[in-house]
Amino acid sequence: MTDLVIEQTSTELQGPSDKEKKYDRQLRLWAAQGQQALEHADILLINSGSGAVGTETLKNLVLPGIGRFTIIDNTKVCEADLGVNFFLEESSLGKSRAECCVKFLQELNHDVSGEFHSTLSVPYLQNLFGSRFFSFILCTLPVEADILSILKEQSTKSKTPLILTHSVGFYSYFRSILPVTIPIVDTHHEIEATTDLRLLNPWKELSDYSAALTKDIEKLSDFKHGHIPYIPLLLHFLEDWKMTHGRYPNTYGEKIEFKKKIIAGSRSSLEGTEENFDEAAAAVLKNIKIPMLSSATREVFEYQTNDIEANSSFWIIADAVKQFYEKNEQLPLPGSVPDMKAESMVYVQLQNIYKKKARQDAIEVFETVLRHPNGKSIKLLDVENFCKNAAHLKLIYALNETGTDLRAIAKSEFENDEVSIVTSQPLSLLPIYLALNSISHIPSASASDIISRVEKDVPIAASNDRVHKIAQEVARAKGGELHNISAITGGMVAQEVIKIVTRQYTPIDNTCIFDGITSRVQVMRI
């Protein structure tokens, strides 16, 4: 067995650090690991158009503490910018917009460093990418086709995520382009979803502890009887059932009968039945079942990694967990115990039994990890976090733009709209994407020009009334942004960046369209 040195947690009580105080609320969302990932992020923004949606995105990344950001914007501040961009003021007129925005964005968080470049050209970007690595690229549309081409090329070459954002008038969309498959460990499922009590396959320590609590259960005082946690209660009644039936309850009918047996064991009073027995009965259908490997986790186990992926920490741990599953026919124990009626001391003891078993399972996985040639740098804490979330892993696949059939997507969406009109369901927001996408490389266009451009990509769109109406609205905006629409969109984009950088929660796949008139959002893979 591999020798392990496990660091012991210091018993000395310490107050929160200045950083913990500053980022208290967000640490509750993505914890120290997520915050560390954010602080190592280096974000590049190619800003164009009115520039509002780009700076609003960065605002929502600077505040939570990204490490560094860079703005490339070759425009000077004009009067129109002052009405839509809160990171500019009258004294900014005539100055580099990139420089002014960096200055005011940095005032939000002095721990974040920022820089600007006022030149935007293919040679300039090539030189920049040759000397600097960015962990994320943001680009606000419209931009020239050759600029967009080099951004996509760099994204593919350096395996850097790219998000394109376009905000015009009341409409906007953003699109995530992931050059590689992004694995998400902590999808933040509900506590109930990650609970695995192992009632049909308890380990010895849990069985012995439960048996001790329920020994001579009929002779216990009313207080003790009413404070047995529902886990020992279920294990007690499961053993009774098995002795009578030769196996555990399996079918729905058997489980209903099993619930009745539990309820019958409750002592009645003027206040009704005992709460702990009610909890036990309520937990039957959710917990009396053989744990099945989720389709998402099976997808991870069956994923064929390339040479680079195979040596990343995620896939090294994933392979170790897979070996654990094949050996034990179950995933490592998550270790969480739901709230339940119990004496405080008893509940803590029960929690510790589950935590101890979860740690033992994690250490077994960790030993496998350490045997991998590149596993020495992986920490036990990372393995424990992976094991805790092993039942709810998620893969977000890279975007293959060549395989996107926009015509087929449009045909399906328009056909669904015909049904939606009858059933009073919301209509597709694809026409917004088609209209905005048609002016990805030009500041604005007339309605007829937009329709003509859309028709080249999706011929059937030319006969769609909603496409015509939205084209007219986009043309009316003349490429201008509305600050409130760009602020909302920037917040959503920043949220996606945080998900991908921290590898937590589930990113969208892959395009999000926003209609500011009806306040609706639609996500679709395009």
Rounded Cα distance, 77 and 100, in Å: 9
pLDDT > 70 in the chain, percent: 95
CB 160 within 8 A of CB 139: no
Confidence of residue 520 (pLDDT cuts 50, 70, 90): very high
Predicted local distance difference test score (pLDDT) of residue 193: 62
- Helices marked H in 121-229: 122-131, 145-158, 191-194, 204-214, 222-225
Confidence of residue 28 (pLDDT cuts 50, 70, 90): confident
Domain residue ranges in the chain: 18-180+482-524, 197-287, 295-396, 403-477
- Point out the least confidently predicted range of 169-178, 404-413, 442-451, 477-486: 404-413
3-state SS, residue 163: strand
Rounded Cα distance, 514 and 47, in Å: 20
- Per residue in 194-212, pLDDT tens? 678 999 999 999 999 999 9
The yes-or-no verdict on residue 12 having pLDDT over 80 is no
- Per residue in 41-89, pLDDT tens? 999 999 998 889 999 999 999 999 999 999 999 999 988 888 888 898 8
Rounded Cα distance, 89 and 239, in Å: 74
- What is the pTM (predicted TM-score) of this model? 0.83
The yes-or-no verdict on residue 11 having pLDDT over 50 is no
Residue 70: Cβ within 10 Å count: 21
- Helices marked H in 23-121: 24-39, 52-62, 79-82, 97-106
Residue recorded with tokens 């129109």: 80
Predicted local distance difference test score (pLDDT) of residue 311: 86
Of residues 401, 445, 439, 432, the one with CA closest to residue 144: 439
Predicted local distance difference test score (pLDDT) of residue 279: 92
Confidence of residue 187 (pLDDT cuts 50, 70, 90): confident
Q: What is the mean pLDDT of residues 409-432?
A: 89
- Helices marked H in 305-446: 307-310, 313-328, 344-370, 380-388, 406-423, 430-437
The yes-or-no verdict on residue 6 having pLDDT over 80 is no
CATH architecture of the domain with range 18-180+482-524: 3-Layer(aba) Sandwich (3.40)
Confidence of residue 10 (pLDDT cuts 50, 70, 90): very low
Confidence of residue 360 (pLDDT cuts 50, 70, 90): very high
Mean pLDDT of the chain: 90
Predicted local distance difference test score (pLDDT) of residue 135: 94
Confidence of residue 213 (pLDDT cuts 50, 70, 90): very high
Predicted local distance difference test score (pLDDT) of residue 289: 86
CB 61 within 8 A of CB 43: yes
Chain Cα centroid distance, residue 335? 22
- Per residue in 234-264, pLDDT tens? 999 999 999 999 999 999 999 999 999 999 9
CB 162 within 8 A of CB 152: yes
Confidence of residue 402 (pLDDT cuts 50, 70, 90): low
The yes-or-no verdict on residue 420 having pLDDT over 90 is no
Contacts of 85 (CB under 8 A, 6+ apart): 50, 51, 52, 55, 101, 483
Confidence of residue 397 (pLDDT cuts 50, 70, 90): confident
Rounded Cα distance, 286 and 48, in Å: 52
Predicted local distance difference test score (pLDDT) of residue 489: 97
- Assigned token pair, 437: 């996408």
The yes-or-no verdict on residue 103 having pLDDT over 80 is yes
CB 136 within 8 A of CB 44: yes
- Per residue in 290-349, pLDDT tens? 888 888 899 999 998 888 888 889 999 999 999 999 999 999 999 989 999 999 999 999
Distances from the Cα of 132 to the Cαs of 70, 121, 140, in angstroms? 11, 16, 21
CB 511 within 8 A of CB 174: yes
